[in-house]
Structure 1
């Protein structure tokens, strides 16, 4: 299962934060991460940096991460930011976006749009450059051809989002043949096979079943695995989840502040006092990580003087203390010159919505008959490190052992590196969709009452019939090939193999609601005396992070293949 690359690097391109890790083939478990992301004046050092891109007035890349935030904040302070554009937390544009295409746009913090592909490409290109520079300081003589690249993606993403990320990576200079996508909860599961503590006993034996909950910044991504006797992993339940990550808590905090200070003040504060605005967000990020179930009393937040001044500039504003009373927060929120002290119970309420969504979803999975042997939950991800989130999940999901590994926020990143070295470690997956072809077939009154019809060579044919290749919920081995019988072409020159998917188990027509066209393979025909001379057999290769479709001319043995173009 081991790859041939000299080293593997994984990029965790997150909603809130991004980073990378790598290891060499001769010691794959000795994984190195960048230790020098520095937030700014307070010298906060992190293993990841904000997913944030700054463009100059000419639309060219300027900086990424903390550097981008700090540079833009300085420009705003000096009133020199005209034309500069800052993009933050744009990854969620890919989540559950059925209309995603190469022309999809993303907005900067002022609402101006640019093609999302441009911003994603710039981000990956920066991470690749940063990694290369760090590597060259450590070792010389390594060329790009020696490197296997891995990019983590949520397992719950649609095919179009996965393809979007792959194309952005290729546009950033990563060669297609040396690029793999790794599903985030799978990566976490892979890394936890290496844990050397007594916790490993939970999943080290063949037959052990466990759930992985990856709580990230944007999404909660959930998978269920079974350890196999050959040390590979078998998926037991299709990947699922939703937009229930840590950014929901951040947004709830900003909405809560808006109730106190008003929308106008918050907008001006964001636009005119950018440095203070970023500091407010970073301060909340640090404080929210420390909130636990036993936290009592009040939490102190830094409150910028500029924010209070902007509030007071509004002529119709009531005094802040009075506004707090009006909101029923008397005694729970107190203000001093540069501090806001908030009763911890108020802050805890900001966490309830996303965590309860996760809990409800997990309970629905455990209620299924085939999930009764799953006894353990592995909780990972940046939001998974939150003590309050951990406690609420442990409290509500009873009779399950919940394990939070060390450095839960980078477990996915480390697992993605190991996946790059041992790509066969995941044996099978559960299909999230039904896949099939759009075909026309001889019209039968009893079967095709609702079909669109056409006459071909005098024969009445039913159009848009959904010929199922594999159904949602079916287990499929990685690399498994599923083929059709002989398909007779309609036209003499070429055949378009049109692939569709849907969440339905038994779709009838490719025009049914919920059916999505995900790609077409064009097969050119060699000369033959009849259409039957150019019969083809189509094959789907399932189970990998992308769907490969092949076709072969039965007579000439000529082969055609393509990854589905879902964009």
Structure 2
């Protein structure tokens, strides 16, 4: 196997990070640090803020600053990652969030799409990654090594949002042609990446046995994803996904909003007189790196230092003043979000008990918000009574688990079996996938409104029917494709526009999805396949009224590669090259 560099990108809502490894040293996964910054305070962090400042010049957009480069008096674009998801797919409370509204407003004002903003940010992150690699390995080595790149996405995201992330990464230049060889680019759900990075710790432990369930709870800035894995073999670690993963928009940024709203409510209209620099100072120094990280509900009281402009009516001559916060007050700031995380965890535990007949052995907290002391304390109080351990690693390990797991995923796609010490054999389908079709109409089986004359068939058929090839909750082997088979009859070459045939893939989120099109069934994407066979060479077919036409039989193969659906096509028994198959997502 040729030498290469494996690169994992954790594209987060509030912070993003990158890890990498050289193919000859797969166990030596390194984290990109030394971010360019205005000050030295955060330069060596394991991650950098997912923020960007534009300098617009005419119709051209240009990135002025990003990450830690952003100056205190600048107003950055934040939360734009969430704009990659369709608004109606986001929870109601998130749709109404001030931060998300500000992000959408700024994108509209600057005439920038969410994909463009994500691409602009990822481009800067990618340039910083290459610079870090060159600093450590040297430019000749980096130039001579192909890249295998994996980008993380929330598990709860729709397939459309995942594909917009992929488009943004490609637009960022990650897949640009290089003389040393082709760059591969793939996606992975964030909790799966976390599992790959953390489940190896259970290897050989005497308290871990086959059929034990380990739950990974990835608490990030914007999203909290939870997935559970069943141990098939403890040494080496081989697991399968136990029940369908779940997720909510209840990450750390929503606790930040609670704090912001609390302070704004205390200082009232003076909040609007604070400069962006003052607000960022309060949020970063007083909250993010102070109270939020250390609070444990242990009776301590806190004080928030505020600029005089915020409390001038009370402190006329002081440059600063302090706002006291009791432990009970701080707890009320956390509790709305922790309540959602608690319900997410308890629902997952309930699903596991229903399917496996027992609770998980432990829950592992990862992600930036997963380092929160109070989150650990609160969950331990609830789950400890059920005999479920809550695990929280120290230091940067929870924060970097996602990008390290993405590197391990990149290794596994290149033939390193059990890369990182963990193999995931099966996943659970998050939704139903199928095709619309028609079949001979039967009065005892079909609805009258579905009855339609199909000229090419020469008979009445039931239209608007759905055949589900993959059901929600079903185990999917990680490498075996799901095959969707169907045919099309054509009476003339004019019916094949642009020498293409199309197939629409439909999805449904509900259990026991209906077998016909209803409001619970939505279109996911349209697959276009180039038809290489001339019309006159297509197989002949005689329909029910004796009229001759041509028949096109084709299979669509669907493979779930990490977090992304990939499609292939077989036309009249011939597998089509990848360039002949195009998927257009809604």
TM-score (norm 2): 0.82
SS in 2 for 1:534: strand
* Per-residue CA distance 1:419-463 (angstroms, 9 max, x = gap): 211236332110010000011222222222164343122411222
Q: 1:552 to 1:559 in 2, by over 3 A?
A: farther
Following superposition, the deviation at residue 408 of structure 1 comes to 1.2
Matched, 1:366 2:366: no
Q: Which moved more, 1:52-61 or 1:125-134?
A: 52-61
Of residues 400, 403, 417, the one that matches 2:407 is: 417
Q: CA separation in 2, counterparts of 1:127 and 1:107?
A: 22
Which position in structure 2 is the counterpart of 1:394? 380
SS in 2 for 1:487: strand
Question: Deviation digits for residues 88-137 of structure 1, max 9, x if unmatched?
Answer: 1222223564579xxx9953669735211111001110111001111111
Q: 2:6 matched to which residue of 1?
A: 8
- What is the aligned partner in structure 2 of residue 326 from structure 1? none
Contact 2:308 2:315 in 1 (8 A): no
In the alignment, which residue of structure 1 is the partner of 2:585? 566
- Name the residue aligned to 1:112: 109
User: Which structure 2 residue ranges, 5 or more long, are not aligned?
Assistant: 91-100, 176-181, 418-422, 542-548
Listed one character per residue, the Cα deviations across residues 502-535 of structure 1 (whole Å, up to 9, x for unaligned) are 1124434563113221112234363233345422
SS of the equivalent of 2:489 reads coil
Secondary structure (helix, strand or coil) at the match of 2:517 reads: coil
Written as runs of structure 1 = structure 2, the 5 A alignment for 1:287-326 is 287-309=290-312, 312=313
- Residue 88, structure 1, aligned to residue 93, structure 2: no
Q: How do 1:235-246 residues align onto structure 2 when only pairs under 5 Å count? A: 235-246=241-252
Equivalent residues of 2:569, 2:581 under 8 A apart: no
Q: CA deviation at 1:144?
A: 7.3
Task: Give the alignment's Cα RMSD to 1 decimal.
Answer: 3.0
Q: Give ranges in structure 1 of 5+ residues lacking alignment.
A: 76-84, 313-318, 322-334
Tell me the residue number matched to 1:79.
none
Work out whether residues 29 and 418 of structure 1, in 8 Å CA contact, stay in contact via their aligned partners in 2: no
Count of aligned residue pairs for this structure pair: 523
Task: State the match for 1:217 in structure 2.
Answer: 221
Asked if structure 1 preserves the Cα contact closer than 8 Å seen for 2:431 and 2:473, the reply is: yes
Q: Distance in 2 between matches of 1:172 and 1:509?
A: 41
Deviation at 1:231, TM superposition (A): 3.5
Query: 2:58 aligned with 1:52, yes or no?
Result: no
Following the alignment from structure 2 to structure 1, what is the Cα–Cα distance between the partners of residues 32 and 144?
19
Q: Is the 8 A contact 1:238 1:432 kept in 2?
A: yes
Structure 1 residue 480 corresponds to structure 2 residue 465? no
Per-residue Cα deviation, 1:183-220 (whole angstroms, up to 9, x for no partner): 1111111112343899x5565x5443210000111111
Equivalent position SS for 1:222 = strand
Q: Using a 3 Å threshold, how does the CA distance of structure 1 residues 415 and 99 change in structure 2: closer, same or farther?
A: closer
| 2:570 paired with 1:552 | yes
Greater shift after overlay, 211-220 or 337-346?
337-346
SS of 2:338 mapped into structure 1: helix
Paired with 1:110 and 1:548, the residues of 2 have a C-alpha distance of: 30
Deviation at 1:170, TM superposition (A): 0.3
Structure 1, 89-98 or 402-411: larger mean CA deviation: 89-98
Equivalent of residue 382 in structure 1, options 340, 346, 368? 368
Q: Whole-Å Cα distance in 1 between the matches of residues 301 and 319 of structure 2?
A: 13
- Describe the shift of the 1:144–1:307 C-alpha distance in structure 2 as closer, same or farther (beyond 3 A): farther
Compared with structure 1, are the counterparts of its residues 96 and 108 closer, same or farther at alpha carbon in structure 2 (3 Å cutoff)? Answer: closer
- In structure 1, the residue matched to 2:505 is 499
Instruction: Select between 189-198 and 416-425 the one with higher mean Cα deviation.
Output: 189-198
**In structure 2, how many angstroms separate the alpha carbons of the residues matched to 1:496 and 1:87?**
39
TM-score in terms of structure 1 length: 0.84
1:354 lines up with 2:354 in the alignment: no
Offset, 1:290: 3.5
For the residue of structure 1 that corresponds to 2:585, the secondary structure is coil
The answer as to 2:67 corresponding to 1:65 is yes
Paired with 1:184 and 1:365, the residues of 2 have a C-alpha distance of: 17
Are the equivalent residues in 2 in contact too, given 1:16–1:247 (CA < 8 A)?
yes
User: For 1:141-540, what aligned pairs fall within 5 Å after superposition?
Assistant: 141=140, 142-143=142-143, 146-175=146-175, 178-195=184-201, 206-229=210-233, 231-262=237-268, 264-269=269-274, 273-283=275-285, 284-309=287-312, 312=313, 337-368=320-351, 369-371=354-356, 372-398=358-384, 399-406=387-394, 407-423=397-413, 425-449=423-447, 451-457=449-455, 458-489=458-489, 492=492, 493-494=495-496, 495-508=501-514, 511-523=517-529, 524=531, 526-527=534-535, 528=538, 529-530=540-541, 531=549, 533-540=551-558
Deviates more, 1:15-24 or 1:121-130: 15-24
| 2-structure distance, mates of 1:410, 1:450 | 57
Counterpart-to-counterpart distance in 1, 2:363 and 2:574: 52
TM superposition shift of 1:291: 3.0
Answer with 483-492 or 85-94: which moved more.
Answer: 483-492
Q: Which residue of 2 aligns with 1:29?
A: 27
Q: What is the match of residue 93 of structure 2?
A: none
Counterpart for residue 178 of structure 2: none
Specify the SS of the correspondent of 2:426: strand
The whole-number CA distance in structure 2 between the counterparts of 1:33 and 1:183 is 19
Gap change, CA 1:257 and 1:105, over 3 Å in 2: closer
CA distance in 2: counterparts of 1:39 and 1:404, whole angstroms: 30
Distance 1:477 1:34 in 2: 33
Instruction: Please tell me whether the aligned partners of residues 147 and 183 of structure 2 are also in contact (alpha carbons under 8 angstroms).
Output: no
Gap change, CA 1:538 and 1:179, over 3 Å in 2: closer
Q: CA deviation at 1:243?
A: 0.8
Q: Deviations over 1:252-292 (max 9, x none)?
A: 01111221122x433332xxx12111111102101234433
Whole-angstrom distance in 1 between the partners of 2:471 and 2:450: 24
Question: SS at 2:77's partner residue?
Answer: strand
Q: Which moved more, 1:227-236 or 1:178-187?
A: 227-236
